[in-house]
């Protein structure tokens, strides 16, 4: 049964559709952008963070200044010798760099320098708001400091950020230069995400239109432009999509949509790993590394 507060919120947005749809849409958009309190974690989460403490201590920390605040970048050297390239790693919503440990370590072992960001409103970065424009700006700032990249690797929302950063989809922000993309459990359609969110809040059509107007206001492009499969079709950057068929948070249909973008997209199915367990699987990390190394080997031949 839905909680009392949830019922109240839905009732308010239902009323807002009739009384003030513009205000209702703006409020819904701000609610969408609101990030969880990074200082409020469950006991299980605290244990996971404690287990990653040694891993986090190995990174050099950089405080990057973006348009909206401060972003923490964790700089990991390769395990030995000079780096063969640099990889940017982006976590998902309600996540942080600690959860990308297996992916980061896989790239380090292969000889890459890894830059892992805590996205705004997450981990050790400032703020309590995040949307695609804010996230892409953070990735662009990392690109200015550490790019170009051999690959940008993103999980969940971070995968959508990786694609939009490479595509330069946010007005006024230059594309982040990368040779490859690795999208793990990533959503393809931002319009679909907002539709789902609207249904969750009980938004009416006029309020939904107002939400879309807010997206265009902050991103400089209409919401319908943010469909990952179409962006990837025109971007033509070699891309590996890793997805679990049993993912209940971001359905596997998203991976199938990406696959339709062209022959430059390859899908690797990680069976039985869901949405979050996929990050801790060493075979998933190894698949991402092999894909990135494959481009390097071919570039050396040519």
The beta strands (E) that lie in the chain are given as 60-65, 70-76, 86-90, 113-118, 151-155, 181-184, 239-243, 265-269
Q: Coil, strand or helix: which one is 41?
A: coil
Q: Kindly state whether residue 50 falls inside one of the protein's structural domains.
A: no
| Tens of pLDDT, residues 141-195 | 999 999 999 999 999 999 999 999 999 999 999 999 999 999 999 999 999 999 9
- Asked whether residue 128 is assigned to any structural domain, the reply reads yes
Tell me, yes or no, whether 257 lies in a domain: yes
Number of structural domains in the chain? 1
Measured N-to-C along each axis, helices 21-33 and 4-19 cross at an angle, to the nearest 10 degrees, of 140
Q: Does some domain include residue 208?
A: no
SS3 63: strand
Would you say residue 19 lies in a domain? Answer: no
* Best CA proximity match to 154, nearest among 131, 121, 201, 187: 187
**Residue 278, domain member (yes or no):** yes
Give percent of the chain with pLDDT exceeding 90. 85
What is the side-by-side strand order in the sheet with 181-184?
60-65, 70-76, 113-118, 86-90, 151-155, 181-184, 239-243, 265-269
Q: Domain containing 245: what range?
A: 60-188+227-301
| pLDDT tens per residue, range 185-221 | 999 999 999 999 999 999 999 999 999 999 999 999 9
CA angle, 204 then 22 then 119, to 5°: 90
Average pLDDT, the chain: 93
- What CATH number should be reported for the domain holding residue 109? 3.40.50.1820
Q: How does pLDDT run across 92-143, given as a tens digit for each residue? A: 999 999 999 999 999 999 999 999 999 999 999 999 999 999 999 999 999 9
* Least confident interval from 32-36, 40-44, 144-148, 229-233: 40-44
Q: Does residue 235 sit within a domain?
A: yes
Within a domain: 26: no
């Amino acid at each position: 049964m839905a909680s009392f507060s949830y019922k109240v919120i839905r009732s308010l947005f239902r009323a807002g559709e009739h009384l003030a749809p513009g205000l209702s849409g703006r409020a819904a958009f701000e609610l969408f952008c609101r990030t969880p309190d990074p200082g409020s974690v469950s006991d299980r989460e605290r244990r996971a963070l404690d287990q990653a403490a040694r891993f986090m201590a190995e990174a050099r920390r950089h405080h990057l200044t973006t348009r909206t605040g401060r972003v923490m970048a964790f700089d990991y050297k390769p395990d030995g010798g000079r780096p063969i390239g640099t990889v940017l790693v982006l976590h998902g919503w309600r996540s942080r760099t600690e959860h990308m440990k297996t992916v980061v370590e896989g790239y380090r072992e292969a000889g890459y320098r890894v830059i892992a960001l805590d996205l705004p409103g997450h981990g050790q970065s400032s703020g309590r708001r995040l949307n695609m424009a804010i996230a892409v700006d953070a990735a662009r700032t990392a690109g200015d400091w550490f790019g170009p990249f051999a690959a940008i690797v993103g999980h969940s929302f971070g995968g959508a950020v990786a694609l939009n950063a490479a595509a330069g989809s946010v007005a006024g922000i230059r594309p982040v230069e990368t040779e490859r993309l690795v999208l793990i459990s990533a959503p393809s359609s931002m319009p679909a995400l907002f539709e789902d969110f609207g249904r969750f809040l009980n938004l009416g059509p006029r309020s939904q239109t107002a939400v879309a107007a807010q997206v265009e206001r902050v991103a400089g492009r209409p919401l319908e432009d943010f469909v990952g499969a179409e962006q990837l079709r025109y971007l033509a950057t070699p891309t590996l999509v890793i997805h679990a068929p049993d993912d209940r948070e971001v359905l596997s249909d998203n991976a199938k949509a990406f696959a339709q973008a062209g022959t430059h997209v390859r899908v690797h199915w990680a069976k039985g790993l869901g949405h979050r367990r996929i990050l801790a699987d060493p075979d998933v990390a190894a698949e991402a590394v092999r894909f990135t190394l494959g481009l390097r080997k071919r570039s050396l031949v040519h």
